[in-house]
Structures are given as structure tokens and as C-alpha cells.
Amino acid sequence: MSEADRRAERRVVDGRFELEARLGGGGMGTVWRARDLVLHRLVAVKEVRPPDRDLAEYDPEGARMLRERVLREARALARIDHPNVVTIHHIVDGGEGTYPWLVMELVSGGSLADRLAQGPMPPAEAARLGRGVLAALTAAHDAGIQHRDVKPANVLLRPDGRPVLTDFGIAAIRESTTLTATGSIIGTADFMAPERITGQEGGAASDLWSLAMMLYTAVEAHHPLRRGTTLATLAAVLHEDVPPPVRAGALGEVLMSVLVRDPAARPSAAELDRRLAEIESLPTPPSDHPTSYPLTPPQAPPPPTGFGPPPVLPGPPVQISPQPPTTPVSTTTRRRGTGTTVLRAVSGVSLAGAVGLLWWLLPLDDNKGDNLGTGPSTSTPTSTSASPSASSTPKPSEEPLAKGSMLTPANIRTAIKALKDATGRDRFGDFTVYDDYVMADVMVEGSETKYDSYTYYPGKGVAEGIIKDNLSGGKQPFTLDAFAWDKVPVLLKEADKKLNVPEPELRYVTVTPPNTIFDEPVSLSVYLTDDYGGGYLKATPQGKVTDVYPAEK
């Protein structure tokens, strides 16, 4: 077997799905953009892995339950045929002792979390999105499935703004409730219904609470019950009243009718849809906020200070098991490899004198999303370097700001110089150019793995993002000095001719970092996508095309 064949074998799953780029990850695994070599289309492939790589060794039962949960997710999705629910194409299962791969449609408009990082939604837009998510939930409920984790990062957007509900990995299928420990529940504290916090089964009404809280957050640009800690947030959800929204207009009354603690008092899905339809029909003033964002890279940092409201950050996933109050709090932190696993065992906590809690805090989404290309970081960033170059306030660039499309050689060079000037650094972990902005992961000074995310906006400058993470999967830092950016217009023309995407909804140019696992050098790729998928071509840094992967005709 040639070296080229060995490289291809290492990066092709099940002999069919060629991994191209890491889209994101979280506590349940990593999501990749991949190419289906049989059907010649782009797909999202979810590589399931435990939070701790040694889980199978010290907790084989936990590893078995994780595998079963993933298979359940696949079966749950396969039971739902709805345009607002992500479609699963295939599952790769190696049997006991392995973790499956899920192959799903690639939704190319980013996530709702990306959208909200750019600013709040007008009420009519939020109502329209809410109806789409509600339709997905209704289809799931009709199939006997509760989603249990409705939040912005789990709502993807097609290029035209239509929502797609994803990540049914913790969905509760009524006939399969034994797969989690007795009395335990899983979800995200910020969007979890109060009855589920106390360990009740909940039901369809619990998903409606989560939907209403998500829409409240979308319109108001903040979560009304989020507090400084997970425990404080849980206490607020249990015991504090939801304050009436101030920006929601007529939508506010609809949301408040759902955000009541008694599930039986909440409106039915049909009644909620009718009321959302009334809000959707109201005239909407013009908005400067776009309705969809690129999927790759999925993180979308907030605008620079002064350019818009602060981002909306959903809280981390949390598993909660009601326990009788017994012992004081204990905390254990385990760090392994390049990722970080935080395991906290808390028992005997008096939650307003009533509820003792035990929770497992899974690794925070690294946002590039635990979805099929999802969303910005769900955690509050922590500085990874004390050096001045890692300052949270980028230095202003003295260069003139770019104007027009960023997909021009001059504007790309302007963005690169601005990023270097603002950060004091010249090594990157990721670099992607869209028409409207440039996104980059800039390496922390002195580190081969740590990076901070930044975005360059034409006419505005550099904004620091909310992502602070580590390179993984064999990726290595790179510099941009040797790239022939003058070749970009030629590559775009080649893409127009050869990728079978006559009217692309999205164009972007991305640098793929060198990879020690796949034994590949740094390269440049041009992507074109539309509602039906897309294609890409790969080139050397000097602009020589090496591979062409057209869209299916």
C-alpha cells in the first residue's frame, strides 16, 4: 500500500466518509465536515467519544451506556421525518467496545447561538424561528421523544434562516428510560424546566418551557435567570419569577404564558403555534442583523465593543440527580491530554432547604458546537496566557480598514496585518475568509496548542471572540506569510467552473492546518455551498490546485 493510500485510509471512515475539517465538539464527541465518497456530497459526521479517553478502562459500564445513548440518538432521529429536524443518513457501528459514528446532513447556515452572538432578534423573527422549532418538537413528541436540551446551540439555521433542531443525544424516549441512572436527568441548567430540576419526568410541556426561554433570550439578548454559578442558576429557575421581557412587545405575553412553573398551566403546542403565528404576521422594522452565519468555522464571536450588544451565552450541559442531604461538597478536577474534563461531585447541598444535588459537569462545548456545525462557546472564557499578547483588549491597527468583500487579495492581507497588530502574534490554528468577515484562531504566545479566536470585520476592525481552546486531532500551528493570496480570484473562478454550484449561497476560503495524524501539509481550500450541499477544491499555499470535489449534479 502506498503512503498516499495509507493517508487516505486513516482519514476515511467506514471506507466512505472522508473527514475534511473539525467543526466542533463537546462532552459527547467531535463533529467533522466530511465528504461522502459514494454519493459525492458533504455531510456532518459525529465522532462519538467519552469525556475521558480512559472511560472504557475504569468505567466500562459508563462506556457501554454512552454507546447505547448514541445508538438511541440515531434511532430517535431515524424515527422523525421532518424538515425542521436534522436528517440522519447513516450510522457506523463497530459493535461492543467501540463508539459509533453518526452521519447526518450538513446544515450550512450556522447555529442560533451564532446568530444571537451578533445581536438580539426582532419579535417577529423570533416568533417565526420559534414556530419552526415548535414544529420539530411536535414531530418528536408525536414519535414519543422528548428533546430535553432545547437551546441556541442545538438549533441550526439553513442559509435562508429556517431552523433545524439537532442533538437528540439526551432525548428521553419513553420506552428506553433505563439508559440513565435512576432519578438522574440531563440538560442545560439555563434552559431546563423547573420540574425537571426536581427530578420529575416532565414531558412535552418541559420542552415548551425550554423553547420559550430560548426565545426570551433571543429577543432580550440576555437570560433572565442566569446567575454566576450553575447552582445559583438552578435555584433561580426553581424559586424566582421570570421578569417580564422589555423588548419582546406582543411576544412577551406569549412567552410569559409558557414560563410558568405548573406544566399543566402552559399552553398546548397547537395553541402556542397559533399565538406565535399572530406575532409572526406583525410588521417587522428593518434589521441590520443577518439571519444565517457560516458553519465553518462554527464559532461566531461578538462584534467589537461599541458595535452591538453583548453575546448571549448558554450555560454548560449538566446532569443532576436528586439526593437526600448527607455530606458536604467535594470537588475533583481531572485534566487529561489537550482537553479538559471537569468532574464535580456535590451532595448534601440544600437548595432553598429542599433539594440535594449531584451533578456531572461535562466538558464545555468548545463551540465549534456539539451539533452538526454549531455555535459559539457556551462558557465564559478563561485567559490561557498571562502575556500581554493575550490581552482581552486587542490593540487597534493603524492600517486602513478593508471595505467591500473580504475575498480579495488586498483585503485578506489587510485582515492578516490587522490580526497580527491587534494580537502581537503571527501563528494561527485556523484562518477562514468569508465575504463579510475573516475568522481566525490565533495561537497563544509560547504555546503549540492554545489559541484565542478573533474576527476581522471590514470597516470595523478586529474583535476578540469568546473561544479559548486547544488544537486537537493532530493539528499544528501555521503562519500565513508564504501564501499567494493573489491566486484567490483565480481559485474562486476555478471553483465556479468545476464545483457544480451555479448559484452558491456561501463562498469561503479556508486554510487547513498541517496535521501530524494524517501526515498532511498546510493547504488552502475554496468552498461553494447552496441549499443542496456543495463542493470544494484544495490547493497548495502557492495556489496550485491539487484536488477537486464537485457537488453532486
Full-model pTM: 0.53
Average pLDDT over residues 202-230: 91
Q: d(Cα 187, Cα 506) in Å, to the nearest integer? A: 33
Over its C-alpha atoms, the chain yields an Rg (Å, rounded) of 23
Set of cell numbers at residue 61: 459500564
Side-chain-side CA neighbours of 6 within 13 Å: the count stands at 6
Q: ω into residue 297 within 30 of 0, thus cis?
A: yes
Element (H, E) at 455: strand 450-457
Reduced to 3 states, what is the DSSP secondary structure of residue 441? strand
DSSP-derived letter for residue 284 is: -
**What is the overall mean pLDDT for the chain?**
74
Cα–Cα nearest to 202, from 185, 190, 219, 221: 185
Percent of the chain with pLDDT over 90: 36
Q: How far apart are CA 364 and CA 296, in angstroms?
A: 19
CB 489 within 8 A of CB 406: no
What kind of architecture, by CATH, is found in domain 6-280? Orthogonal Bundle (1.10)
Over the range 208-223, which residues count as b (16 or more CB within 10 Å of their CB) and which as e? bbbbbbbbbbbbbbeb
Q: Cell numbers of 18, please?
A: 472522508
Residue 314 has pLDDT above 60, yes or no: no
Torsion of CA 75, 79, 82, 85, to 10 degrees: -20
* CA pair distance 474, 476, nearest whole angstrom: 7
List 323's β-bridge partners, or say none.
356
**314-337 residues labelled b (16+ CB within 10 A) or e (exposed):** bbbbbbbbbbeeeeeeeeeeeeee
Distance CA 259, CA 210 (A): 9
Question: Number of H helices and number of E strands within the chain?
Answer: 12, 23
Contact predicate 32/45, CB 8 Å? yes
Nearest to 439 by CA among 462, 420, 459: 462
89-108 pLDDT, tens digit each = 888 887 776 778 889 889 88
Tell me what the mean pLDDT of segment 268-275 comes to.
96
Residue 459, burial from CB neighbour count under 10 angstroms (0-12, 13-18, 19+): exposed
* Contact call for residues 451 and 285 (beta carbons, < 8 A): no
CA–chain centroid gap for 252, Å, is 27
- Which residues does 228 contact at the CB level (< 8 Å), separation at least 6? none
pLDDT of residue 26: 56
pLDDT winner (highest mean) among 118-132, 229-243, 277-291, 339-353: 118-132
Note the residue count of the chain: 553
Extract the C-alpha cell encoding 276. 406565535
Supply the DSSP string of 73-139, one letter for each residue.
Answer: HHHHHHT---TTBPPEEEEE---TTS--EEEEE--TT-BHHHHHHT-PPPHHHHHHHHHHHHHHHHH
Name the residue ranges covered by the structural domains of the chain.
6-280, 389-549
With H, G, I as helix, E, B as strand and everything else as coil, classify residue 517: coil
Average pLDDT over residues 170-179: 43
| pLDDT > 60? residue 331 | no
d(CA 506, CA 373): 15
Confidence at residue 374, expressed as pLDDT on a 0 to 100 scale: 35
Please name the residue that has the C-alpha cell 464559532: 299
What is the structure's pLDDT at 509? 93
pLDDT in tens, 137-163: 999 898 888 888 899 988 999 888 899
**Tell me, what amino acid is at 113?**
A
- Residue 52 per-residue DSSP state: S
Q: Assess contact for 84 and 162: CB atoms under 8 A.
A: yes
Tell me: pLDDT of 325 over 50. Answer: no
Q: Is the pLDDT of residue 349 over 60?
A: no
Query: Running DSSP on this structure, what letter comes out for residue 480?
Result: S
Least confident of 187-196, 387-396, 480-489: 387-396
Q: Grid coordinates representing 245?
A: 421581557
At 380 the three-state DSSP class reads: coil
Instruction: Give, in order, the Cα–Cα distances in Å from 63 to each of 49, 54, 134, 543.
Output: 9, 9, 33, 45
220 or 178, which is more confident: 220
Measure the CA–CA gap between 342 and 111, rounded to whole angstroms.
Answer: 25
pLDDT for res 34: 92
pLDDT at residue number 54: 56
User: How much is the average pLDDT of 167-174?
Assistant: 55
In whole angstroms, give the CA distance from residue 326 to residue 78: 43
| Residues with catalytic function | 149
All three cell numbers of 28, joined, read 459527547
User: Strand order in 185-188's β-sheet?
Assistant: 185-188, 317-323, 356-361
Q: Which residue has the higher pLDDT, 23 or 325?
A: 23
Mean pLDDT throughout 464-481? 82
